[in-house]
A and B are shown apart, each in its own frame.
Chain A
Amino acid sequence: MQALLTDELNQYSTNTVMQLAEDKSSLIWHFRIRNLIAPNSTVFPDLLSFPPVIISFIQKLDSYINLNDNWDSYGAVAPSVISIRNARRFLINNANVSLPYYFISPGVNGEVMIELSKGRKAAEIYFNSDKSTELLLFENNNCLLESNLKDSIKELIKFFND
């Protein structure tokens, strides 16, 4: 749990269950979603503040755990736990940042790729099995920047909000 939720603890809340306690169906839904994000956690994100796209991406990420090698018929490596965990952490930490989340998919070498897109602009973020990240910014599919998330997160946000 700590490994998953060490960043930005101010985004998390322990009172969400109390808010939903009167609605049983919502409570069941809440626990299901919570377990996708932080299984066995007693401190978990306030999921109701997350945009639906983030919830959807996290659900897809969780499903990648079940993929085996050669899942694409061309010999792809199954997504690694590290890649999935780091992509999930990025989504949780940046759920409310103004970024145009568009698509998520596993890569062929065990990585996870998150794509952002807004008009002619797009970005691809790769969470690799060796814990590294790659960030590419595109305009009309022409690459403008190749970097990593740590060094260029500000450029990423600026790129989509100029």
Chain B
Amino acid sequence: MIDIPSIVTIGENDRLLRRVQFLHPNFIKPDGTPSSASFSLKTDEKGLSVDLERLTSYEKSILDKTRFRLFYLSASFTVQLGLINQHDPQPDNYAHTLVMGNISRSVSRQLAAAAKRIYFP
């Protein structure tokens, strides 16, 4: 019998983690904000992959601290942009969440501009 992971509801106060590469290539601009490209969707991608902060740890979410910095988006902000936050647990990552909707170039820029750095480690 296969265990089906329970889906959690994402609230306004939740934070969504996204790792951003800073080394070869660097996605973090001189002013410390991430490039829009790091909040863009691949062709045919259902949504922007993030981790629900309360279901993971920074250590796990950052994946490789020698290559990535960790940023977060407020769940309420993505909703303000008309996007939907959907918990999407994966076998190796229960915290996996998708930010879905029309993530155009201009929306990617707004997401990147609103992302806040988490100083970890």
Contacts from A to B (Cβ < 8 Å): 60, 63-64, 67, 71-77, 102-103, 105-109, 113, 115, 124, 126, 134, 136, 138, 141-143, 146
Contacts and interface: CB of A to CB of B under 8 A. Distances in A.
Interface residues of B, number: 27
A105 B35 contact: yes
A124 B25 contact: no
B113 A141 contact: yes
Given A108-B42, A109-B42, 18 more contacts: A67-B24, A72-B27, A72-B38, A75-B45, A102-B29, A105-B27, A105-B37, A107-B37, A107-B40, A108-B40, A113-B37, A115-B29, A126-B105, A134-B105, A141-B109, A141-B113, A143-B106, A143-B109
A161 B68 CA distance: 36
Interface of B: 19, 21, 24-27, 29-30, 35-38, 40-43, 45, 49, 63-64, 67-68, 105-106, 109-110, 113
B113 to A, nearest CB: 5
A113 B36 contact: yes
A106 B37 contact: yes
Residue from B30, B37, B110 whose CB has the most chain A CB atoms within 10 Å:
B37
Contacts of B19: 73
B89 to A, nearest CB: 17
Contact of B35 (A115, A138, A141): A115
A124 B29 contact: no
A103 B43 CA distance: 23
B94 to A, nearest CB: 18
A47 B63 CA distance: 40
A74 B20 CA distance: 10
A73 B63 contact: yes
A76 B67 CA distance: 15
B21 to A, nearest CB: 5
Residue from B25, B35, B63, B67 whose CB has the most chain A CB atoms within 10 Å:
B25
Contacts of A77: 42
Contacts of A141: 109-110, 113
A106 B105 contact: no
